[in-house]
Copies of this chain bind each other. A is one copy, B any other.
Amino acid sequence: MDPDAIAILGGTGDQGLGLALRFARAGRDVVIGSRKEERAKAAVEEVLGQVPEGRVSGFENAEATRKAKIVILSVPFEHTASTVKSIKEALGEGQILVSMGVPLATAIGDGAVRTVGVWQGSCAELVAGLAPKGVHVVSAFQNVSAHRLQHLEDEVECDVIVSGAKEPREAVMALCELVPGLRALNGGPLANARYVEAWTALLIGMNVRYKVPEGLGFRLTGLPE
């Protein structure tokens, strides 16, 4: 397990690929995970196409999980539980599992401007309930536009609210600083993920109403310098 590597499961999807591009550009080792190894390898080629100097590798999800201290779950909400179950054996004490999923109603064939209720309170808490003991679950990146992440030449003007226990939370906040424009904010306990996740559905609706296919972000105002 490389303490500096970042694994992105579902790194073949839009938002996972965007994070992979940004972290590779920032010079970090990136491990892309997918249900099928060949799809992970194809995503690696896509990243290297834009970031030729990148250190990027691709594996099946469980194998990718074994290779990095921080593992980001970037799968559609409806695949969250099955993905966590499939990597349980690969997860070890002290690893950080990042939940960036949002319980959008697309999971049940309804629209992305609405959410479904999650018994545990949020996608992040669903993940925490399934993760083995000793694995730290942190919530982050839900509101960051995939489109803006993928445009490497532009800053991503957005705050990232990061929730979870102090030490792993700070490790994930440090990741945000790798992406120009992102600002990490301490979102407190993991349960607050429910507010951040829900906000995504509102932003998706605002993207439609204001015709911003690139995706809106947000900044908190009034913070001390």
Contact = CB atoms under 8 A, between A and B. Distances in A.
Contact of A113 (B188, B196, B201): B188
Copies of this chain, complex-wide, total 2
Interface string A112-152: 01000000000000000000000000000000010010000
A187 B206 contact: yes
Given A195-B198, A198-B194, A209 B221 contact: no
A224 B195 contact: no
A188 B216 contact: no
Nearest to A147: B222
Contacts of A224: 210-212
Interface of A: 113, 145, 148, 157-158, 161, 185-188, 192, 194-196, 198-199, 201-203, 205-206, 209-212, 214-224
17 contacts: A113-B192, A157-B221, A157-B222, A186-B209, A186-B210, A188-B205, A192-B202, A195-B198, A196-B202, A206-B220, A214-B222, A217-B220, A217-B221, A217-B222, A218-B218, A218-B220, A218-B221
